[in-house]
């Protein structure tokens, strides 16, 4: 995962957390729910990027094994 992708995912999670807290403090349930959704979306994206990175690493390991 690129550093840029990781930063975007973390920022999305942080913004979501802020929206959730603000929504809870102001009694705006829609904002709180939107914040929770943003956090979840950021976590899912981050997990997807991590999985892709591990898969690419595994493919590279196989390539290295067969080219030696």
Please tell me the predicted confidence (pLDDT) of residue 11: 96
Please tell me the predicted confidence (pLDDT) of residue 42: 96
The closest alpha carbon to 36, from 18, 16, 11, belongs to 16
- For the chain (68 residues), the mean pLDDT of every run of 10, in chain order, is 86 98 98 98 93 80 72
Please tell me the predicted confidence (pLDDT) of residue 68: 65
Number of domains making up the chain: 1
Question: Residue 53 belongs to what domain range?
Answer: 3-67
Please tell me the predicted confidence (pLDDT) of residue 2: 78
The closest alpha carbon to 39, from 62, 17, 21, belongs to 17
Structure-token pair, residue 67: 């080219």
Please tell me the predicted confidence (pLDDT) of residue 50: 86
């Amino acid at each position: 995962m690129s550093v840029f992708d990781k930063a975007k995912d973390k920022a999305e999670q942080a913004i979501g957390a802020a929206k959730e807290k603000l929504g809870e403090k102001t009694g705006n349930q829609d904002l709180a729910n939107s914040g929770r959704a943003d956090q979840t979306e950021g976590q899912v994206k981050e997990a997807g990027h991590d999985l892709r990175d591990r898969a690419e690493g595994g493919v590279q390991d196989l390539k290295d094994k067969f080219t030696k």
